Amino acid sequence: MDESIREPPMIPMENLAHQYSVPAYEAPLEVNTINLDHMSGLPRPTNSENHTEQHFQTLNGFSPYLPSQIPMFPHPGFLSDSFQDLAAFMDNHTPFTDDFASFVSSANGITFASPDRYSNSGAVPLHLGELATTEPTQQSDEVESFSQLGSRLPSLQPEEHTPISRAAPQVSRPSNLFENISSHTRDLLLNKVYEFASVVPEEFQLPTRLALYRYMTAYVKGFHEHMPFLHIPTMSAEGCSIELVLAIASIGAQYCFEPEKTVQLFQTSHAIARERIRRRDASSVSQSRSDREHTPMMHSYSSRGTLPQCEETIQTAQALLLLMAEATWSNHRKILREALAIQSILATLVRDHGLKTPPLPEDVPWERWAIFESTKRTKWIVFCFFDLHTIVYNIPSPILSSDVDGMLLPCQTATFRATSHAKWLKARDTEGDISFKDAFSSLFQEDFSTVGTAPNSTLGNYILVHALIQHIYLVREVFRHRRKDIPEDDIASTEIALRNWKAMWKHTPDSSIDPSNPMGPVSFNSTALLRLAYIRLNADIGPGRALHTRDPTQIANAFLKAQLISRTPRLLRPVLHAAHALSIPIRIGVHLVAQTQTFRWSIQHSLATLECAFLLSKWLEALSSPAAIESITPGEYKMVMLVKTMLDETDFAVPPHFNVGSPSSMKLLAANVLRVWAKAFYGPAQVWAIVDVVRASLELCADLVENNGT
């Protein structure tokens, strides 16, 4: 066998609970995880903090190996970051400048005790955590809250309830979505609804001006930044198709916790979108694909509320995209089953519109460019959301990476957010176009480098990590019934791609692990998907989590019945990713995260959390059998103790008599890992029901793990 891929021999350990001591394992075990200090530019501990540096050395060790103790990992450079990264993250004395800086005081950090401080007996001290004080840094006192939805409210003049049959009013200048919804605007929307009276539910009532403004503002503040494909600065209610306005309002109503209005707006928008498609197909007035690819950038929004057909088509697609997202994440029985039905229609609509990016003239006006970029971003978000369906439902995406080879990646965030022609020109001068095909292919190159290259956008990085997850899914499906696991060469090449993606992520100016980053949470969301990619590449955790049922009992039973994780040296990397994910809410404060994550954390984090919890708990279960305990490796022992140390900072600390050699102790640790994650989702109210489903599922899984075992 090739020595480069030989697995390390298991190290037998007799009477582990009483005789094993970690210091014999003295070289750092490197694992690909996110080095938070490096990415955020935070300083490492200085010489004045020698006690902290010594603590890191105690955890990771720098004494020589004995030759027989050196584990053989599959590839040179197989693991590029180390346990030290996670230990440093959990144990550093630096201010909270990245993780929930607006919620956590910079005055206090958390110091975790090293697992190596445990005695040979395996007993764990009661008090491992201690508070450490740091010098406070200058920090803005301004804390963004959901109540700050806008600087002004619409006029409170008496509402004019105009009947649907009223003639169209005189046209005035379209207002931006942030501006007041006037009586004139509402009248125009009413008349647009009336055009589809044959399919509009009889009980439907268009929201008042105040409600429309509230919903649209809630959409922009709560949802838009996670899926930034609408060009808000140039949009107006008058210039949008009615199904898009209603879809925006429906999601806004969801964020305002108005479920009845949410469902009503969803059903009406969906009915109008389908009817518009039916009418367009029936009219047989269509252009060739190439014409439709070039037409959108040649028109701006019409001041009279009418749209060229290609703009109308893409706005219908945008409405369906929002409706599909709403149907996927909500738990409204009336709309839940529509998610996959909308997916099929949307895939056809986007393909018909074209999956290639046409060239733009150099002197294109800002408004036309905005339509062009919004159209491109719409197709990319569709591509990404189909991948989320793959994660949730275990179904292949109807749009593959090869289908979008002819598209350019989105522009930088600052360019897309520019609020005037002058600001747009200034931002646009600093960037160039990046081809998806070139960017994706480059990730698999061993000599990848960001030196001298134009930085990708945060949304571009988000798209590429979705493409990598799709790649992993398809490779695993190909080999699922042909062999036990993905071939070593495929795993190695994908690991190179993931490592290069991290380098590209760090090279992007707007990258941040802060969900409240002023440039948006897309970069933060991408890191959750990176963890998920590592987990799915290195561990076959089964075909699905039964999430499509929305039934916590069925999800928990699927968890219990899933096969145990196969212990391999390679598995330590995704396990450390899962532990790193757990360390974030623990370090911030599980209860604090529970109270604030509703409007900060994306659904991607809920999905990644479920997979991280599943992997880490199953891995701990796999170590709980007597046979496994006898053969536990130093790296595995160190990871167990690190997880135990983290849990000591929560409400679910395991008893002081915790013993690695005890199957019951290990099962309790596995169960409490699930409980801590569930606690992080105990918010006052969740916008999307799937978050509550994840929480309830984790709680049930914890009980099953502790009571039933394997």
Between CA 209 and CA 187 the distance in angstroms is: 10
Contact criterion met (CB below 8 Å) for 530 and 498: yes
What DSSP character marks residue 151?
S
For the ranges 65-69, 451-455, 472-476, 701-705, the lowest mean pLDDT is seen at 65-69
Helix axes 689-708, 309-329, angle to 10 degrees: 30
Give the Cα-Cα-Cα angle 220, 221, 227 (nearest 5 degrees): 60
Token duo for residue 685: 């109210």
Which pLDDT score, from 0 to 100, does residue 170 have? 36
Contact criterion met (CB below 8 Å) for 663 and 688: no
Higher-pLDDT residue of 349 and 282 is: 349
Higher-pLDDT residue of 626 and 386 is: 386
Higher-pLDDT residue of 690 and 168 is: 690
Contact criterion met (CB below 8 Å) for 459 and 383: no
Largest Cα–Cα separation, the chain: 88
CA 442 to chain CA mean position, Å: 23
**Residue 255 CB partners (closer than 8 Å, separation 6+):** 218, 219, 221, 222, 223, 599, 687
Between CA 571 and CA 71 the distance in angstroms is: 14
Residue range 687-706, pLDDT digits in tens:
888 888 888 888 998 988 88
147: amino acid identity, one letter:
S
Among 79-83, 415-419, 651-655, the range of highest mean pLDDT: 415-419
Number of C-beta neighbours around residue 261 at 10 A: 18
Contact criterion met (CB below 8 Å) for 353 and 317: yes
Residue range 520-534, pLDDT digits in tens:
899 989 999 999 999
Contact criterion met (CB below 8 Å) for 389 and 399: no
Which pLDDT score, from 0 to 100, does residue 432 have? 79
Higher-pLDDT residue of 591 and 175 is: 591
For the ranges 147-151, 271-275, 410-414, 465-469, the lowest mean pLDDT is seen at 147-151
Between CA 125 and CA 143 the distance in angstroms is: 38
Token duo for residue 18: 């009483």
Between CA 273 and CA 24 the distance in angstroms is: 66
Q: How far is CA 111 from CA 30, 70, 132, 357, 697, in A?
A: 21, 30, 6, 51, 31
Which pLDDT score, from 0 to 100, does residue 2 have? 41
Higher-pLDDT residue of 164 and 201 is: 201
- Tokens 């796999």 correspond to what residue? 622
Q: What is the DSSP string of 209-257?
A: HHHHHHHHHHHHHHTGGGS--S-GGG-BTTTS-HHHHHHHHHHHHHHTT
pLDDT band at 409 (very low <50, low <70, confident <90, very high): very high
Three-class DSSP labels, 614-680: HHHHHHHHHCCCHHHHHCCCHHHHHHHHHHHHHHCCCCCCCCCCCCCCCHHHHHHHHHHHHHHHHHC
For the ranges 97-101, 280-284, 611-615, the lowest mean pLDDT is seen at 97-101
3-state SS assignment for residue 74: coil
Sign of the CA dihedral running 413, 414, 420, 424:
negative
Residue 36 has pLDDT above 60, yes or no: no
Residue 497 has pLDDT above 50, yes or no: yes
Residue 38 has pLDDT above 50, yes or no: no
Helix axes 50-60, 83-91, angle to 10 degrees: 140
Token duo for residue 439: 């960017």
Which pLDDT score, from 0 to 100, does residue 663 have? 86
- Helix (H) / strand (E) element for 299: namely none
Give the Cα-Cα-Cα angle 408, 409, 414 (nearest 5 degrees): 125
Which pLDDT score, from 0 to 100, does residue 592 have? 86
Between CA 110 and CA 134 the distance in angstroms is: 10
Between CA 410 and CA 140 the distance in angstroms is: 31
**Residue 371 CB partners (closer than 8 Å, separation 6+):** 231, 234, 296, 297, 299, 300, 301, 311
Residues in the chain: 710
621: amino acid identity, one letter:
E
pLDDT band at 294 (very low <50, low <70, confident <90, very high): low
Token duo for residue 444: 């698999």
Measured torsion, CA atoms of residues 344, 349, 354, 360, in degrees rounded to the nearest 10: -130
What DSSP character marks residue 296?
G
Token duo for residue 86: 């996670």
Q: How far is CA 375 from CA 126, 212, 303, 410, 440, in A?
A: 57, 24, 20, 10, 21
Token duo for residue 320: 């369906």
For the ranges 242-251, 475-484, 493-502, the lowest mean pLDDT is seen at 475-484
Helix axes 603-622, 366-393, angle to 10 degrees: 30
Mean residue pLDDT across the chain: 74
Which pLDDT score, from 0 to 100, does residue 227 have? 94
- Tokens 């649209």 correspond to what residue? 216
Which pLDDT score, from 0 to 100, does residue 567 have? 82
Residue range 129-145, pLDDT digits in tens:
222 333 333 333 333 33
430: amino acid identity, one letter:
T
Token duo for residue 360: 């733009």
Residue 411 has pLDDT above 70, yes or no: yes
Measured torsion, CA atoms of residues 211, 212, 217, 220, in degrees rounded to the nearest 10: 140
63: amino acid identity, one letter:
S
Helix axes 338-353, 366-393, angle to 10 degrees: 140
Provide the residue ranges of all domains of the chain, joining segments of one domain with +.
3-98+104-142+539-708, 183-388
As a whole number, mean pLDDT of residues 244-258 equals 95
| Side-chain half-sphere exposure of 164, counting CA atoms within 13 A | 14
3-state SS assignment for residue 130: strand
Which pLDDT score, from 0 to 100, does residue 380 have? 98
Between CA 94 and CA 72 the distance in angstroms is: 35
Three-class DSSP labels, 83-117: HHHHHHHHHCCCCCCCCCCCCCCCCEEEECCCHHH
Residue 9 has pLDDT above 60, yes or no: no
pLDDT band at 336 (very low <50, low <70, confident <90, very high): confident
H helical segments located in 480-602 = 488-507, 522-538, 552-561, 572-588, 590-596
Token duo for residue 72: 């053989």
